[in-house]
Amino acid sequence: GAVVSQHPSWVICKSGTSVKIECRSLDFQATTMFWYRQFPKQSLMLMATSNEGSKATYEQGVEKDKFLINHASLTLSTLTVTSAHPEDSSFYICSARGLAGERNEQFFGPGTRLTVL
């Protein structure tokens, strides 16, 4: 299947700082990228959907000013957690869908584990 990378794989930061997570599709053009969050023992929760070159669509309850998403190219989307707080500690996973994605399949990145102290 197609390959999606995420960077960093884990990050620890102090409360109040901002953290940027990158999601790249390595061998295909991702017309749509999704950002998910997963708390322990809970399901993946979609945070937002972004299409290349346009503003992201956020799910209900997700603050767009806190979770900044940029999908500037067909191979890169970034999620910036601004003014992070301990409750933002979670596993953040991106997925991508594009020309290589058949029948709406998504290809997931390896995830970024964020810990806010």
User: Interface residues with another protein (CB under 8 A)?
Assistant: 1, 32, 34, 36, 42-46, 49, 57, 91, 93, 103-111, 113
Strand partners, 67: 81
Please give the C-alpha separations between residue 111 and each of 7, 103, 107, in angstroms, as whole numbers.
Answer: 8, 23, 12
Please give the C-alpha separations between residue 99 and each of 26, 91, 104, in angstroms, as whole numbers.
Answer: 13, 27, 10
Closest to another protein by CB, 35 or 67? 35
Rounded CA gap, 17 and 1, in Å? 35
